[in-house]
Amino acid sequence: MSGERIDFVDSGGEMVIEQLLARDVSMYFAGQRALDQVDLTLRRGEVHALLGANGSGKSTLIKVLAGYHNPEPGAEVTIAGEPLAFGSARSSHLAGLRFIHQDLGLIDTLDVTENLKLGGSYGQTWWLSHRKERTEARAMLRKYGLEIDPGMPVAALSAAQKSMIAIIRAVEDGLANEGVLVLDEPTASLPPEEVHQLMDLLKALKAQGVTILYVTHRLAEVFTIADRVTVLRDGQRVATEAIGAVDADGLVELILGKKLEKREESSRSDTWNPVLVADRVSGENVVDFSFTGHSGEILGITGLVGSGYESILGLVYGSLMRDSGNVTILGKQIAAGSPRLAIRSGISYSPADRRRLGAFLGWSVRENLTIPKLNYARITQRLSQRAESAEARDWIARLDIRPNRAEAVLSDLSGGNQQKVVIARMLRCQPAALLLDEPTVGVDAGAKSAIYSELRDAASDGATVIVSSSDVEELAELCDRVLVVAEGSPIRELVGRQSPVDIARISLNYNERAG
């Protein structure tokens, strides 16, 4: 295969150029299969979606292409007909592969022009002309339809604008039509109203003939931007299909490897007892926010970015300091800014930034699971690792955490499996109230299903579950009630099963009126 590029004419009479060909890519870690003879073909100028559950092998395949991993003998990859040397980031870069990860590699304290130049070179003179460099940067941005001040600090840009700066830098850095742009969860941290900005840029790149490998968990984006889709499961390629040949349910079934089961409708009761009460809570960008979480219900909170929905659970829990208002759990008042008292009173909280605020990445799965409530030997009152390990194994099996090893280091797990560990830790404490900010960001369809099931079980056992999320489809699927927030306060309560479109429309319409 080395040195070859396979071109052919498709059914519509168009010449198709195979831009990237990967054959028989396998990887093993500690005897466990991460990739098993995976094949992948990208055509020039297409957007090719790569899907799969967390732990399916997507990240490993990307790291092979990036030169981070050296695959098993027999693997072959060519870019534009030229063989790729494995295990070398420089070879990957010279071959025309460019990678945009969730960590965009931007420096907030530098301006847009300086970030666009990172990794490249300036002119041939011995001095720098800031005026010239900014003029070139402005022209580069306008080429892709972006009206951004090239002198603006990157810290002042929106999340979508930062992503677009990173993508344009990669494309302009010698990518052209001979390379491949790899986007790894590019919208994971973007609010819904900014996702379309990124989609517009990708469509413009596609029109210019740029080949894009698009890794995501958001199926709606696949149908918006992709031409074809490949699904990995347990390290193997299980399907490659034209996007018009599959639907959302079919993709989920390919990802999970099983048929979808219909969800039973909520059995909401107006006689539920109040568990957690927030009364006129203010702080951050929240103003006089009141709500009640009842035993047995799942309450959703959403709104546009900056509306205040992102802060309310932190204020209730105490990780953010509230300026005024009261919070009670089972009739007991919780002092402002006291997470320790909140935990002792029966509140568990999962922050949106689980890697920085919700987990100990260098610790084992066992240690992360048991840290809030340690197991002690009855006689010696010393920590019992045997008891911890046994309990950790039970939770690992219950939430299907992979790899299924209690001593696995948490940082080695995929994002979805890390989130399962965080959720398991909360559930293990049997709290009266579970508070979760963006519980499934970066989580695949299979992990979402497992998390939703556990949250419903917790509610069925009498807890109140409160979910703050920008994912309106998630709220429509999961919640018994949804509070829509604008300008720091709830503006509408939706009860019962709601359409995601209805939830989003209320936020957007209010924003339009306010604007």
What is the 3-class SS of 400-447, one letter each residue? CCCCCCCCCEHHHCCHHHHHHHHHHHHHHCCCCEEEEECCCCCCCHHH
Range in 43-47, 283-287, 386-390 with the lowest mean pLDDT: 386-390
- 317 vs 275: CA distance, rounded Å: 14
- DSSP 3-state of 467: strand
Task: For residue 262, count CB atoms less than 10 angstroms from its CB and return exposed for 0-12, middle for 13-18, buried for 19 or more.
Answer: exposed
Q: Is the confidence at residue 515, as pLDDT, over 90?
A: no
Q: What does the angle CA 251 – CA 252 – CA 253 come to, to the nearest 5 degrees?
A: 90
Measured distance CA(306)–CA(318) in Å, rounded:
19
Query: Measured between alpha carbons, how far is 63 from 248 in angstroms, rounded to an integer?
Result: 27
State residue 211's pLDDT score: 92
Tell which residue, 437, 506, 497, 446, has the closest CA to residue 473. 497
pLDDT reading at 462 higher than 70: yes
The one-letter amino acid code at 448 reads K
- Angle CA(168)–CA(174)–CA(177) in degrees, nearest 5? 90
Alpha-carbon span 503 to 257, nearest angstrom: 31
Structure tokens at 493: 């309560």
Distance CA 345, CA 328 (A): 9
Provide the pairing of β-strand 464-468 with 433-437.
parallel
pLDDT band at 266 (very low <50, low <70, confident <90, very high): very low
Q: CB atoms < 10 A from the CB of 364, how many?
A: 20
Q: Is the pLDDT of residue 244 over 60?
A: yes
Kindly state the helix (H) or strand (E) to which residue 251 belongs, with its residue range: helix 248-256
* pLDDT the model gives residue 185: 83
* CA dist list (Å): 469 to 302, 308, 422: 6, 12, 17
Is the pLDDT confidence value at 340 over 50? Answer: yes
Give the Cα separation of 9 and 154 in Å (integer).
44
For the chain, the first-to-last Cα distance in angstroms comes to 58
**Single-letter amino acid code for the residue at 19:** Q
Name residue 339's amino acid. P
pLDDT digits (tens, 9 = 90+) for 50-62: 998 767 889 899 9
- pLDDT above 90 for 404: no
Domains and their CATH numbers in the chain: 1-96+180-256 (3.40.50.300), 107-173 (no CATH), 274-514 (3.40.50.300)
pLDDT band at residue 512 using 50, 70 and 90 as cut-offs: very low
Q: In terms of residues, how long is the chain?
A: 515
Range of lowest pLDDT (44-48, 236-240, 289-293, 437-441): 437-441
Pick from 496, 449, 445, 502: nearest CA to 265:
496
Task: Show the tokens assigned to 167.
Answer: 């993508």
Give the per-residue pLDDT at 509.
60
Whole-Å CA distances, 174 to 93, 160, 359, 459: 9, 23, 38, 53
| pLDDT above 60: residue 263 | no
Above pLDDT 70, what percent of the chain?
A: 84
Please give the backbone phi and psi of residue 411, each rounded to the nearest 5 degrees, phi first: -65, -20
Residue 455 has pLDDT above 70, yes or no: yes
Q: Mean per-residue pLDDT for 412-425?
A: 85
* 246 pLDDT above the threshold of 60: yes
pLDDT at 86: 93
d(CA 447, CA 35): 20
Structure tokens at 255: 């990802």
pLDDT band at 379 (very low <50, low <70, confident <90, very high): very low
Q: Which residues contact 138 (CB under 8 A, 6 or more apart)?
A: 150
Q: Residues 216, 226: contact at Cβ < 8 Å?
A: no
**Average pLDDT score, the chain:** 83
d(C-alpha 148, C-alpha 165), whole Å: 10
For residue 123, give the DSSP letter: -
> Half-sphere exposure of 249 toward its Cβ, with a 13 Å CA cutoff?
4
Q: Residue 265: what pLDDT?
A: 47
Q: Give dist(CA 188, CA 31) in Å, integer.
A: 31
- The confidence band for 163, taking pLDDT boundaries of 50, 70 and 90, is confident
**CA-based radius of gyration for the chain:** 25
| Whether pLDDT at 399 is above 90 | no
Q: Please return the burial class of 469, using the count of CB atoms within 10 Å of its CB with bins 0-12, 13-18 and 19+.
A: buried
User: Higher confidence at residue 247 or residue 7?
Assistant: 247
126 band by pLDDT with thresholds 50, 70 and 90: very low
Instruction: Give the pLDDT score at 12.
Output: 55
* Per-residue pLDDT band at 382 (split at 50, 70, 90): low
Instruction: Provide the pLDDT confidence category of residue 10 given band limits of 50, 70 and 90.
Output: low
- Output the pLDDT for position 189: 67
Q: Give the count of beta carbons closer than 10 Å to the beta carbon of residue 135.
A: 13
Lowest-confidence pick of 234-238, 274-278, 379-383: 379-383
Q: Given a cut of 50, is residue 3 above it in pLDDT?
A: no
Query: What tokens does 152 get?
Result: 């603006």
What token pair was written down for 429?
């404490």
Tell me what the mean pLDDT of segment 433-459 comes to. 86
Q: Tell me the mean pLDDT in the region 320-339.
A: 91
How much is the pLDDT for 140? 81
How far apart, in whole angstroms, are the C-alpha atoms of residue 223 and residue 247? 9
Asked if 367 and 360 count as a contact pair (C-beta separation under 8 A), the reply is yes
The model's pLDDT over 176-206, given as tens digits with 9 standing for 90+, comes to 557 898 988 888 767 666 788 788 888 888 8
pLDDT at residue number 24: 96
* CA-angle at 386, arms to 383 and 392, nearest 5°: 100
Q: Which residue has the higher pLDDT, 355 or 327?
A: 327
